[in-house]
Amino acid sequence: MSSMAQARGTSILTLEKSQKRFARLVALPGMVVLILLVVGPLAYMLFNSFFVKTLATPLPPRFAWFANYGSLFTDGRFWNAFLNSMIIMVIGIPVQSFLALVLALLLNKKFPGSRIIVALFLIPVMITPVVAGFEWKIILDNRFGPLNYVLSFFGIAPLAWLAKPLLAMASILIMDTWQWTPFVTVVLLAGLAAIPKQVYEASSVDGSSANETLWRVTMPLLRPMFTLVILLRIIFIFKIFDPVQILTGGGPGVSTETLSVLTYIMGFKSFNVGMSATIAVVQLIIITIIAKLFISMVMSRRKGKES
**Which of the residues 210 through 269 are near other proteins (CB under 8 A)?**
225, 228-229, 232, 235, 238-239, 241-242, 245-246, 259-260, 263-264, 267-268
Instruction: State which residue, 34 or 219, has the beta carbon closest to other proteins.
Output: 34
Other Cβ atoms within 10 Å of 236 Cβ, number:
14
Residue 290 binds to other proteins (criterion: CB under 8 A):
yes
Residue 170 binds to other proteins (criterion: CB under 8 A):
no
63 φ, ψ to 5°? -70, 130
Interacting residues with other proteins between 85 and 144 (CB under 8 A):
99, 102-103, 106-107, 115-132, 134-136, 138-139, 143-144
Instruction: State which residue, 3 or 121, has the beta carbon closest to other proteins.
Output: 121
Among 31, 90, 163, 219, which residue interacts with other proteins (rule: CB under 8 A)? Answer: 31
What are the helix (H) ranges across the chain? 2-34, 40-48, 67-73, 76-87, 93-108, 114-121, 123-126, 129-140, 146-152, 165-193, 197-205, 210-213, 219-239, 242-247, 259-268, 273-306
Instruction: State which residue, 3 or 262, has the beta carbon closest to other proteins.
Output: 262
Site size toward other proteins (CB under 8 A) is: 98
Cβ neighbors of 66 (< 8 A, separation 6 or more) are 50
What does the buried/exposed string (b/e) look like for 52-84 if buried means 16 or more CB atoms within 10 Å of the residue's CB? Answer: bbbeeeeeeeeebeeebbeebeebeebebbbeb
- In the complex, minimum distance from the CB of residue 210 to other proteins, in angstroms, rounded to a whole number: 10
Instruction: State which residue, 95 or 235, has the beta carbon closest to other proteins.
Output: 235
Return the bridge partners of 63, or none: 51
Amino acid making up residue 10: T
CA 276, 282, 284, 287 dihedral sign is: negative
Interacting residues with other proteins between 176 and 195 (CB under 8 A):
178, 181-183, 186-187, 190-191
Is the CB of residue 225 less than 8 Å from the CB of residue 187?
A: yes
Instruction: State which residue, 123 or 199, has the beta carbon closest to other proteins.
Output: 123
Among 44, 73, 98, 215, which residue interacts with other proteins (rule: CB under 8 A)? Answer: 44
Q: Please, what is the end-to-end C-alpha distance for the chain in angstroms?
A: 36
- In the complex, minimum distance from the CB of residue 222 to other proteins, in angstroms, rounded to a whole number: 12
Residue 62 binds to other proteins (criterion: CB under 8 A):
no
Binding region for other proteins (CB under 8 A) out of 6-14, 22-30, 89-97, 197-205: 22-30
Instruction: State which residue, 134 or 200, has the beta carbon closest to other proteins.
Output: 134
Residue 13 binds to other proteins (criterion: CB under 8 A):
no
